[in-house]
Structure 1
Amino acid sequence: MSLDGLRVLVTGAGRDTGRLLALAFGARGAQVLATARTPAAAEQTAELVRAAGGSATAAVLDLSEPESVAGLAVEHLDVLVNSGAQYLGETAEPTEIADAIAGAATGTVLLTERLLPLLRASGRGDIVNLISAAGEVGQHRSSAHAAFYAAKHAQAGYAEILSERLRPDGVRVISLFPPDFVQHGPRETGAELTAQSVVDCVLFAVGQPRDCFIRAFHFEQRVPRR
Structure 2
Amino acid sequence: MSFEGLRVAVTGAGRDTGRLLALAFAERGAHVYVSARNPGAAERTAEWIRRHGPGTAEPLVCDLARPDSVRAFAATLADRTDHLDVLVNNGAGYVHGDDLGDVEDEAIIATIGGAATGTVLLTKHLLPLLRASVRPDIVNLISTCGEVGHRRSNAHPAFYAAKHAQAGFAEIISHRLRAEGIRVISLFPPDFVQDGPREATGELTARSVVECVLFAVGQPPDCFIREFRFEQVRSPRS
TM-score where L is the length of structure 2: 0.93
Q: Which runs of 4+ in 1 moved over 6 A?
A: none
CA distance in 1, matches of 2:154, 2:31: 36
Q: Work out which of the residue numbers 78, 85, 88 in structure 2 matches 1:81.
A: 88
Separation in structure 2 between the aligned mates of residue 202 and residue 46 of structure 1, nearest angstrom: 20
Which of 222, 226, 231 aligns to 1:220? It is 231
Counterpart-to-counterpart distance in 1, 2:235 and 2:163: 26
Q: Is this contact kept in 2: 1:97–1:147, CA < 8 A? A: yes
Counterpart position of 2:106: 95
Residue 143 of structure 1: SS of its match in structure 2?
Answer: coil
CA positional deviation for 1:22 = 0.2
Q: Which residue of 2 aligns with 1:197?
A: 208
Deviation of 1:223 (Å): 3.2
The SS at the match of 1:122 is coil
SS in 2 for 1:81: strand
Query: Which stretches in structure 1 are left out of the alignment for 5+ residues?
Result: none
Preserved contact between residue 8 and residue 80 of structure 1 (Cα < 8 Å): yes
CA distance in structure 2 between the aligned counterparts of 1:204 and 1:14, rounded to whole angstroms:
22
Q: Does 1:119 align with 2:130?
A: yes
Deviations 1:142-185 (A, max 9, x none): 11001100000000000000000001100000000000000011
1:47 equivalent in structure 2: 47
Give the root-mean-square deviation of aligned CA atoms: 1.0
User: Alignment length, in residue pairs?
Assistant: 225
Separation in structure 1 between the aligned mates of residue 12 and residue 131 of structure 2, nearest angstrom: 23
Counting aligned pairs with the same residue, the percent is 68
- Report if aligned partners of 1:190, 1:224 keep a CA contact under 8 Å in 2: no
Using the size of structure 1 for normalisation, the TM-score is 0.97
Whole-Å Cα distance in 1 between the matches of residues 178 and 218 of structure 2? Answer: 17
Q: Which amino acid aligns with 2:201?
A: G
Q: Who is 2:68 aligned against?
A: 67
Q: Deviations over 1:47-76 (max 9, x none)?
A: 111222120010000000000011111132
Deviation at 1:139, TM superposition (A): 1.0
Of 13-22 and 41-50, more deviation after overlay is shown by 41-50
User: Are the aligned partners of 1:101 and 1:147 in contact in 2 as well (CA < 8 Å)?
Assistant: yes
Q: Which residue of 2 aligns with 1:159?
A: 170
